[in-house]
Each structure stands twice: as structure tokens, then as C-alpha cells.
Structure 1
Amino acid sequence: MRKLKLQMQITVDGFVAGAEGQLDWMILSNDWMKDPYINHLIDTSDTILLGRKMTAGFIQYWEQVLTQPNSSEYSFAQKMVSTPKVVFSKTVDRINGQNVQVEKGSIVEAVNHLKRQAGKDIIVYSGATFVSALIKNKLIDELNLFVNPVAIGSGMQIFGDRTTLKLTNSTVHADGVVVNTYTPQ
């Protein structure tokens, strides 16, 4: 059975975005796209799950990078655009972009159906609401949390209830970001 893996930026105080969705606290550079672990996560996956709210920006960004062959993000953008994407939405039937399909059914049934299919793992890149629903329904098999060395005091979280996790790996980056990999217990 395929695993559903989460890759998400988070603050040391447990927020994934500011109260209004702000992401200005993230430590990001073009070097992240060359990070072996980030590439490993996408290279071992053949499907990307997205929540509707962040999909337009995600697709637009990576498809725009593909128009710039000299960009340092170009090879990573090729992966993002070519990998099939399943977007969960209750409000739209179609989303423009390459390799995109919309799923309007039950999140539990749809994710479990995807996990039972043959293939590589599935990775989720999404916002707090969608990720929270995946966690609440115990659908994520591996959480890769990129802990930024900043506290923002309030904002959006992905954990609504007590969630016991087992740390399976931890890597410190030169910029101070610590990548912690957990499995739910």
C-alpha cells in the first residue's frame, strides 16, 4: 500500500501560517529545490494531493517557472508540473493546469482508494484546513515538518486534537531549519 506523506513548513510554536494566512516567516531560498531530502520526497511519489485553496497559486507558480529554462528552480518545476495532481474541492469541477484532476467525493474514501492503487507514494502540499482534515481522519502516514526557527505567537495550526507521533529522522540545515520526520502512533 502506498504511503501518504506530508511536507510542510511550520514554526517552532506550531503554526503553519499567520492568522490571515501569512507565510512571511518562512525561510526559503532557491537552494531548497536542490535539497536532496525535498527531491527524495517528490522522487519517491507519483501523485500530489492539494486542497483547493492553494492550488491556483501552486499550479501557476510552477508552470510559470517552466517558461524560464535558466531558473534555478527549473528542474524542480518539471517534477511539480509533470506529477499528477489530485485537488480536493466541494466547490469547483475543474481547475486549469497540467496533470490536474478534481476530486469532489469523500476525502477518506478518495485517499484510501489512491493509497490502494499501485505506484509510488503520494505527497501532500497544502494549507492548514486540508492538512488538518487529513490528520483528523488519520490518513497521513509520514509527516515531514520543516521547523523554521521563528515563533509567530498565533496563526493557523494543523493539529486540532492530541496527536502522538514517533520521530523517525531529524536533520538540521545551515539556515536553522530542522526537518523532522514523524509517523503517527
Structure 2
Amino acid sequence: MRKLKLQVQMTLDGFVAGPNRELDWMWVSGEQDPAGLQKVINLADSCDMILLGRGMTQEFCTYWESVVDNKPDSPEIPLAQRMVNMRKIAFSRTQTDIKGRNLEVENGDLATAIQKLKNQEGKDIMVYGGAGFASSLISLNLVDEYYIFLNPVAIGNGLSIFKERKILKLESSTVYNNKTLLKYLPA
């Protein structure tokens, strides 16, 4: 059975975005570490599908497609190519068509759809967010591995993906420049 992996950036005080979905805090620590970027690429390579919540899908697709189309010298190009070329499924209760390369929309029951995807042949499945979507997956106990990039910043208020008590087991931690990657498994 395929695993559902959740990869998120998080502040020290447990937020994945500001109260108005701000993400500017992610770049406070400066330039991206090439080793950290390579880890993100390696995690992407362990998967053949990306799941996204409707709220962040358009921004996600627009950003990565822009890197591929307009920034051939960007250090992000290897990751961008993966993000654009990989099969993506956006989960939405309201929209049936969202624009993006290799993107389809799923409107069915979340738990049923995820279990069906997990039972298919293939590599693992990656979730990048958004906050509400990730929170729903966590609440339904659908996440098999958590990859949390802990950023050295506190923002005081924002969006959390944990809405209830969740006990996790730390499997590993790795420091990249000024961020720490924490890998957790459900306890």
C-alpha cells in the first residue's frame, strides 16, 4: 500500500501560514540550503502524485509553472520540473475544474478517495497543503509520514494543521542551514 506523506513548512509556534495565509516568514532565515533543497527533491522523487487542497492549488501551479517556463537558471528548476510534471489532484467541495498542468479535481468523500488512491499501484503520495486540507487529512488519520520543516521564526498567530491532540513518534531530525526537518510517524 502506498503511503501518504505530508510535507509542510512550520513556524516555531506551530503555524503553517499567517492568519491571512501569509508565507513571508519562510524566507526570514535567508537563502535556501542546497542540501535542504535536495532533500525536498528526494522526497518528491519517492512519490508519483501530489494532493492539494483547493485553496492553494492555483498558487502552487502558477508558481511552479512560472519557474519552469521563465526561470531556466533557477536553483529550483529540478524541483519545479517535478512539481509541474507530476500528477496532481486538487480536492474541492465546490469546484470541478481548476487550471494547471497534469491537474485533476476530486469532489468525492475525502477519506474514501484517499483510501482508493493509497490502494493503487505506484510510488507514495505527497501532500503539500493547504492548512485546512492538511488538517482534514490529519483528523481522519490518513497521514502515514509527517515531514515538518521547522523554521526559526515565531509569528504569534496563524493557521495550524493540528486541531486536536495528535501523538506522533519522532523518527529523525536533520538540520539544514537554519531550518530543521523533523520526520514523524503516527504513534
TM more than 0.5: yes
Q: 2:98 aligns with which of 73, 95, 112?
A: 95
Is residue 15–residue 154 contact of structure 1 (8 Å, CA) maintained in 2? Answer: yes
Matched, 1:13 2:13: yes
Q: Could you give the per-residue CA deviations for residues 26-73 of structure 1, whole angstroms, max 9, x where no partner exists?
A: 136454586232111100000000000000011011111111322222
Report the identity percentage.
49
1:165 is matched by which residue type in structure 2? L
Q: 2-side partners of 1:30 and 1:71: how far apart? A: 12
Q: 1-side partners of 2:63 and 2:55: how far apart? A: 14
Is residue 50–residue 85 contact of structure 1 (8 Å, CA) maintained in 2? Answer: yes
| Structure 1: gaps of 5 or more residues | none
Q: Could you give the per-residue CA deviations for residues 116-174 of structure 1, whole angstroms, max 9, x where no partner exists?
A: 00000000011110000000000000000000011111111111111000000100112
What RMSD in Å do the two structures reach over aligned CA positions? 1.4
Is residue 33–residue 176 contact of structure 2 (8 Å, CA) maintained in 1? Answer: no
CA, structure 1 residues 34+10, in 2 after alignment: closer, same or farther (shift >3 Å)? closer
Matched, 1:166 2:182: no
Q: Secondary structure at the match of 2:129?
A: coil
Matched ranges for 1:34-73 at <5 A: 35-67=37-69, 68-73=71-76
CA, structure 1 residues 13+165, in 2 after alignment: closer, same or farther (shift >3 Å)? same
Q: Secondary structure at the match of 1:26?
A: helix
Matched ranges for 1:78-93 at <5 A: 78-93=81-96
Is residue 128–residue 157 contact of structure 1 (8 Å, CA) maintained in 2? Answer: yes
Moved more, 44-53 or 149-158: 149-158
Moved more, 27-36 or 152-161: 27-36
CA, structure 1 residues 49+19, in 2 after alignment: closer, same or farther (shift >3 Å)? same
1:36 is matched by which residue type in structure 2? Q
Q: Secondary structure at the match of 1:146?
A: strand
| Structure 2: gaps of 5 or more residues | none
How many residues align structurally? 184
> If the length of structure 2 is used for normalisation, what is the TM-score?
0.94
Aligned to 1:123: 126
CA, structure 1 residues 70+6, in 2 after alignment: closer, same or farther (shift >3 Å)? same
